[in-house]
Structure 1
Amino acid sequence: MTCTALTQHRAQLGEGPFWDAPAQALYWVDIAGKQALRLIGQNVQIWQMPEHISAFIPCASGDALVTLSSGVYRLDLDSPGLEPRLSLFCVADPQPGNRPNEARCDALGRLWLGTMQNNIGEQGEDLPIVRRSGGLFRIDPDQRVTPLLLGLGIPNTLLWSDDGTTLLFGESLDSTLHRYFIHPDGHLDVPQVWYGPDAQGGPDGSAMDAEGYVWNARWDGSCLLRLTPEGQVDRKIDLPVSRPTSCVFGGEDLKTLYITSAKSPLDHPLDGAVLTMRVDVAGKLCTRFVG
Structure 2
Amino acid sequence: MSCNAVTAHRAKLGEGPFWDAPTQALYWVDIAGKQALRLMGDSLQAWQLPEHASAFIPCASGDALLTMSSGVYRLDLTCEQSAPRLNLFCVADPQPGNRGNEARCDAQGRLWLGTMQNNIGEQGEDLPVLQRSGGLFRVDADARVTPLLEGLGIPNTLLWSDDATQVHFGDSLDGTLYQYSIQPDGHLAPARVWFGPYPRGGPDGSAMDAEGYIWNARWDGSCLLRLTPGGEVDRVIELPVSRPTSCVFGGPDLTTLYITSAASPLNHPLDGAVLAIEVDIPGKRCHRFAG
TM-score range, shorter chain: over 0.9
CA RMSD, Structure 1 to Structure 2 (Å): 0.3
The 2-side partners of 1:231 and 1:199 are apart by 15
The 2-side partners of 1:64 and 1:120 are apart by 24
Q: Structure 1: which amino acid aligns with 2:138?
A: R
Matches within 5 A, 1:89-108: 89-108=89-108
Matches within 5 A, 1:192-231: 192-231=192-231
The 2-side partners of 1:182 and 1:112 are apart by 13
Match of 2:32 in 1: 32
1:49 aligns with 2:42: no
The 2-side partners of 1:229 and 1:162 are apart by 12
Match of 2:167 in 1: 167
Deviation at 1:11, TM superposition (A): 0.1
Matches within 5 A, 1:257-276: 257-276=257-276
Match of 1:21 in 2: 21
The 1-side partners of 2:51 and 2:262 are apart by 18
Deviation at 1:196, TM superposition (A): 1.3
Match of 2:129 in 1: 129
Match of 2:78 in 1: 78
Match of 2:148 in 1: 148
Q: Structure 2: which amino acid aligns with 1:157?
A: T
TM-score under structure 1 length normalisation: 1.00
The 1-side partners of 2:198 and 2:244 are apart by 16
Matches within 5 A, 1:7-18: 7-18=7-18
The 2-side partners of 1:280 and 1:85 are apart by 40
Deviation at 1:198, TM superposition (A): 1.1
Match of 2:179 in 1: 179
Deviations 1:1-50 (A, max 9, x none): 10101100000000000000000000000000000000000000010110
The 1-side partners of 2:61 and 2:290 are apart by 8
Deviations 1:161-204 (A, max 9, x none): 00000000001000000000000000000000000101110000
Match of 2:60 in 1: 60
User: Partner of 1:23: helix, strand, or coil?
Assistant: coil
Deviation at 1:231, TM superposition (A): 0.4
The 1-side partners of 2:154 and 2:81 are apart by 29
The 1-side partners of 2:235 and 2:72 are apart by 36
Deviations 1:118-165 (A, max 9, x none): 000000000011000000000001110000000000000000000000
Q: Structure 1: which amino acid aligns with 2:267?
A: D
Structure 2: gaps (5+ residues): none
Q: Structure 2: which amino acid aligns with 1:288?
A: R
Q: Structure 2: which amino acid aligns with 1:29?
A: V
The 2-side partners of 1:51 and 1:67 are apart by 10
The 1-side partners of 2:183 and 2:133 are apart by 24
Match of 1:6 in 2: 6
The 2-side partners of 1:187 and 1:48 are apart by 36
User: Partner of 1:286: helix, strand, or coil?
Assistant: coil
User: Partner of 1:173: helix, strand, or coil?
Assistant: coil
The 1-side partners of 2:11 and 2:245 are apart by 11
Percent identity reads: 77
User: Partner of 1:269: helix, strand, or coil?
Assistant: coil
TM-score under structure 2 length normalisation: 1.00
